[in-house]
Amino acid sequence: MSEADMSTLTVILYYGELDSPLGPLTLGATEQGLCLLEFGSFADSRERMLGWAKSNIGSVELRENESLLAEAKHQLTAYFAGELQQFQLPLDMRGTEFQRQVWEALNTIPYGEAASYKDIAVRIGNPKAVRAVGGANNRNPVPVIVPCHRVIGAGGSLVGYGGGLPIKIALLELEAKHASGNEEGEYLF
């Protein structure tokens, strides 16, 4: 099959929904793994999913498939219950080499802790790339699973989150509560 033929193939993007303490989540996956997590119902997320898919995959057909996403839903439910600290899911991360490098570094931030954009830039061996790290963090297609909520600004300030700062705060408080037994769930950084 020629490269031109391959570029016109339609990829199936499977989707499913999960009710969470943050509200509905919409998950997207290819045959290779989970590739997208959107805050909101499928009805609310459909156009964003299609836009992301057009930019990162090409031609897609959306198909509901709750069973394909069952393990991701199970792990997310366990995470929100404080029973899971590290996700073990096949991922199909679509992005530039730099973005994937940043996303891999995000997975090294321990549960219940945080790191600054500068810390991540240093971890990937590019200490001057703080703003680029922020951009890659913002483009993380699977927030929560790849913990971009654990990245904070200089001096511990809470800055930007694709799902909104209230969701970022809720995730940090959830992890703080279960990581330390801190019943108040106050993050300590």
Amino acid, single-letter form, for residue 175? E
Q: Among residues 148, 167, 174, 176, which one is catalytic? A: 148
Residue 124 parent element (H or E): none
User: Strands 115-116 and 151-152: what pairing?
Assistant: parallel
- Find the Cα–Cα–Cα–Cα dihedral 93, 96, 100, 105, rounded to 10°: -150
In Å, what is the CA distance from 19 to each residue of 43, 74, 128?
Answer: 14, 11, 39
**35 is annotated as an active-site residue:** no
In Å, what is the CA distance from 103 to each residue of 54, 59, 67, 77, 107?
Answer: 21, 25, 26, 22, 7
- Pinpoint the alpha helices (H) of the chain: 3-7, 42-56, 70-80, 97-106, 117-123, 130-138, 165-180
Catalytic amino acids?
148
